[in-house]
Amino acid sequence: MPWHILAQRFSLYRKAIFCKVKKVPAQYSLYRNFIITYKNKFANSTINGIAIKVLSIKIRNNFHRFNGISLLIISVSCIKTGDFAKLCNTNKRTLIHYDEIGLFSPAYTDEKGYRYYSENQCDTFFTITCLKEIGMPLKAIKQYIDHKNPVDLQTLLLQQQKKVDAELEHLRRIRQVIDTKLHLIHTGEHLHFSDSVSAVSLEDFPEEYLIVSPPLHTSDHEKIFSAIYQHIAYCNHNLLNAGHPYGAMLSTEELLQGHQDVYAHFFTKVIQPPNGHPWMLKPAGMYAVLYLKGNYYKADHAFQTLLDYIRENSLTPGTYCYKEAVLDEMAVAHENQLVTRISIPV
């Protein structure tokens, strides 16, 4: 009876491996010891993590004879590539790719090239999937799979832990930017304007941490724009942007003297005290607030309206006036839709 006919006696999900006992292929060299050790006994063993059941062994001067050929008949519980892919929640393309790069090979490949996998290989595939999901490259996974041991696994996991922590911090910053932008959009959409400015109101603000540029106290436009670019570059380089557009601080003393284009600092708001960076604390308390619609730099009328309100209500202005974008170029398409908040502590 031909070998392929004998193989059909096994179920669809089992594959028979037939080895001439006197000429066992290298990958089954362990069977020699197996035969010598167990001789006439039926037993179970594993080869490369694959469950092996010996169906028939006769060891004597005459081996198990089948059509005149000395055979070791072994049954390996295997499933087809598609079924194994479903079992491991993956796809055939991934399994084939892993086989091609030598990362994860089938338990058995027949003469037609069809791949068969053992259920016991699920554990190895799960290990590969876990390591891949935490960001480990396939090359590093292969190196580990080829030489698995607790010490190397601990080293790999500690390395990936640092990478995951860094990614979580990155995602936290992105979430901060999103939350900030949503809050600013909500603020900008619920304002009412008359002649490009809103009514002045008193608002209670919490304290805020500001990354600040070096002091300017200048109206020189070339120096002002140079300071803006340097400040933005500094914040971006040090990952200090939490979603707030940059703002400007002006001395209220200069404003009261009619100097409405003399800038003291540029600033960017951050969530926590930025240790190791130049920063100032914007104090908590009551602020006189006005919103300007249109060009950020055409704010003379807005400044004067705000100062008039403070004077008419016998309020004492703080040291700085804060000017910051609410709806910036990221949120609107045209300059006349820009919204800026101008506030002075009182």
What one-character-per-residue DSSP string does 178-237 give? HHHHHHHHHHHHT---BTTBPPPEEEEE--EEEEEPPP--B--HHHHHHHHHHHHHHHHH
Contacts for 304 with CB less than 8 Å, ≥ 6 apart: none
pLDDT mean over 27-40: 37
135 and 190: one domain? no
140 and 247: one domain? no
Q: Structure pTM?
A: 0.59
- What is the per-residue pLDDT across 149-166, written as a single tens digit (0 to 9) for each? 889 888 888 888 888 888
Residue-wise burial string across 245-272, b where 16 or more C-beta atoms lie within 10 A, e elsewhere: bbbbbbbbebbeeeebebbbbbbbbbbe
Q: Is residue 172 domain-resident?
A: no
Contacts for 306 with CB less than 8 Å, ≥ 6 apart: 200, 288, 290, 321, 342, 344
- What is the per-residue pLDDT across 239-270, written as a single tens digit (0 to 9) for each? 887 778 889 999 999 999 998 888 999 999 98
Say which CATH number the domain at 236 has. 3.20.80.10
Give the bridge partners for 265, in sequence order: 249
Q: Is residue 158 domain-resident?
A: no
Q: Is residue 180 domain-resident?
A: no
Say which CATH number the domain at 70 has. 1.10.1660.10
Q: Mind spelling out the 3-state secondary structure of 144-173?
A: HHHCCCHHHHHHHHHHHHHHHHHHHHHHHH
- What is the per-residue pLDDT across 288-314, written as a single tens digit (0 to 9) for each? 999 999 988 889 999 999 999 999 999
Count of domains for the chain: 2
User: Could you tell me the residue range of the domain that residue 194 belongs to?
Assistant: 186-345
Residue type, 60: R
Question: Sorting pLDDT into bands at 50, 70 and 90, what band is 69?
Answer: very low
Q: Is residue 179 domain-resident?
A: no
- What is residue 193's predicted lDDT score, i.e. its pLDDT? 87
225 and 324: one domain? yes
Q: Terminus-to-terminus CA distance in the chain, angstroms?
A: 101
Domain end marker among 95, 124, 148: 148
191 and 95: one domain? no
Annotate 19-85 with DSSP letters as a single string. EEGGG--GGGTHHHHHHHHHTT---EEEETTEEEEEEE---SSSPPEETTEEEEEEEEEEEEHHHHH
